[in-house]
Structures are given as C-alpha cells and as structure tokens.
Amino acid sequence: MPAGPLERLPEWIRVRPPRGAVYPEVRGLLEGLHLDTVCREARCPNLPECWSRGAATLMLLGTECTRRCGFCAVTTHWPRGAVDRSEPARVAEAVRRWGLRYVVLTQVCRDDLEDGGAAILAETVRRIREASPETRIELLIGDLAGRPESLAALWEAPPDVLAHNLETTRALSPRIRDPRAGYDRSLGVFREVRRTSPRALVTKSSIMLGLGETEADLRTAFADLRLAGVDLLTLGQYLRPGPEHVPVDRYVPPEEFERLKSVALDLGFAGVEAGPLVRSSYRAEELFRRAHDTRKE
C-alpha cells in the first residue's frame, strides 16, 4: 500500500531560497517578454539554484496541458487550437538577451493541435538559431500523440538534444500517466528519432522515483531506454505537488540514487544525473557535454 502524503520531508531534501544578482535579472527578462517556464508551472524545487546561475527551462505552447497526469502540477485545459504565433520570436529574443550557451525548451501536451505543436517547436528552434547561432538547444517534447509525421516536422530545424520523459516504469505507467500517454509509446518516440532524424542527435529521458517502483522494474526501464537508443538519463525523487496528485510512496535516500546511477552507467548511458532534487533539465548542459565528449572518443 502507498504510504499516502508524507508531511515531513527527509533531511536530504532541502530547497535553497533564491540568491545572487542573476536571479532578479532572469525573472525580469522572462516577465518582460511574457514567457512561461516549467520551473514555475511544475513547481520545480531547483528553481532557486538554476535561476540564480542564469538557467531556466522555457515552456512553449502555453501553460495549460490537454492531459492530466497524476504527478504533474501543470493546469489541465483544452485550448481549442489557440496558439500564440509570436512566441517563437519572443523566446529567441530572450535567449539572445540572456546570452545563453545552452537553452532547454519544453512543451505542454497539445492534443487539440493536429501536429501536437510540432510546427511551433520547430519554428522556435529555427528562430533561436538565427538570433543566437552558438546556442545549443535541448528540446523536451511530449509524445506528439505518437504521430511520426509530427516528429518529422521537428527535423526542419533539429535541436542538439531531443528529450522525452519515460516518467516511470511499465507497471506504474497506467496509474501515474494520462491514459493517452504510455510506456511503449514513449519508447516508440526514441525509436522513431533514431530511424528518421537527419543527424545523430543526442537523446535523453527521465524517470521519477518514489512512486512504488521496484528495482527490477527500474533496471528493465533502463535497459528498454538503451535499446531504444537513449544516450542520457536523469533520475529524481517524485515530490507530490498537492493533495489531488498521486501520493509519495517513499523518499529514496541519496546513496540509493548513487547506486542506481552506477547501474545505468554500466548499461551504457553516456551520462546520468541522479539525486533527490534532480529533474529532467537539471544541469542539462553538463550532461550534454558528457554525451558529446563520449561520441568524440
């Protein structure tokens, strides 16, 4: 049985308050250009650390998701096809002003759009390439409803890293994720990337721990991701956003994260970030460099 909501966080989970001169600059820039971040919308515990060092994950296609996953804090709504066509240009301007070497872009799921939002994602990458040619771009996508043609639309302006989150193990996926998502569909995204991408993209995925998964199921998920061609992996602790979300089963100690990191590296991942507060975009540039350096060897 799940333990239910746990009121007291263990000592190894500590979120530091914002600090440093860069934090207000980042906040002001994002607010001035009316841009959204997954940092805020998903209540990421690393927001203070990342914003204080000038990093944020920009969220495209609005702040309302057409899916309702049991772990996610993002608002669920059906936008009826509404899209802000000025968003790609504003994102590119933010990246240019910010002077970023590396940017992570993510999206809400948009099942109300025929292409799942792929055209806006590709346009945003293209605009950033024009405004800031030296910037590396990581694109964290949904499953685009499993449509190969939507994924192919991204190759008009391919990112440097294509990320998609598996989220959890096969056994837990039906309970944790929206019914329109799925373990096999997510693996299929990576297989299609390997089959169709115009160049050898770095690929990346993420799994949450503390939802009731077994170690055997985790090892299977790691192996499945490697078989699908995934290069990079992040492992983090699930933190319940509110009482309406799936309860935490347990808080995984740091030493267990370290052991699982070793297991994943032994399976051949080029880089793994693992820890209680690690999220899919945490220290993304450093993780990309590991994959890049591995390919050069």
Q: Find the CATH number of the domain harbouring 63.
A: 3.20.20.70
**In a domain? residue 130:** yes
Residue 9 domain flag: no
pLDDT of res. 6: 46
Tens digit of each residue's pLDDT (9 = 90 or more) over 88-105: 999 999 888 888 888 899
Q: Which residue has the higher pLDDT, 70 or 48?
A: 70
Answer yes or no: is 4 within a domain.
no
For the stretch 34-56, pLDDT in tens is 666 555 544 555 555 555 555 56
- The Cβ of residue 64 has, within 10 Å, a number of other Cβ atoms equal to 16
Q: Please state, in angstroms and rounded to a whole number, the distance separating the CA atoms of residues 170 and 118.
A: 26
Number of structural domains the chain divides into: 1
Kindly report, residue by residue over 222-254, the tens digit of the pLDDT: 999 999 999 999 999 999 989 999 999 999 999
Domain span at 242 = 22-296
**Backbone conformation region of residue 32, classed left if phi is above 0, alpha if psi is from -120 to 50, else beta:** alpha
Q: What is the mean pLDDT of residues 128-139?
A: 94
Residue 73 lies in a domain: yes
Q: What is the pLDDT of residue 5?
A: 44
Does residue 49 lie within any of the structural domains?
A: yes
Is 157 in contact with 128 (CB distance < 8 Å)?
A: no
CA distance 220 to 213: 11
Work out the end-to-end distance of the chain between its first and last CA atoms, rounded to an integer number of angstroms. Answer: 47
pLDDT, residue 100, reads 81
pLDDT grade, residue 280 (50/70/90)? Answer: confident
SS3 46: coil
The pLDDT assigned to 13 comes to 83
Whether 17 maps to a domain, the answer reads no
Contact 212, 249 (CB under 8 A): yes
The position carrying tokens 């294509």 is 162
Domain-located, residue 152: yes
Q: Are 47 and 39 in contact (CB under 8 A)?
A: yes
Q: Does 15 reside within a domain?
A: no
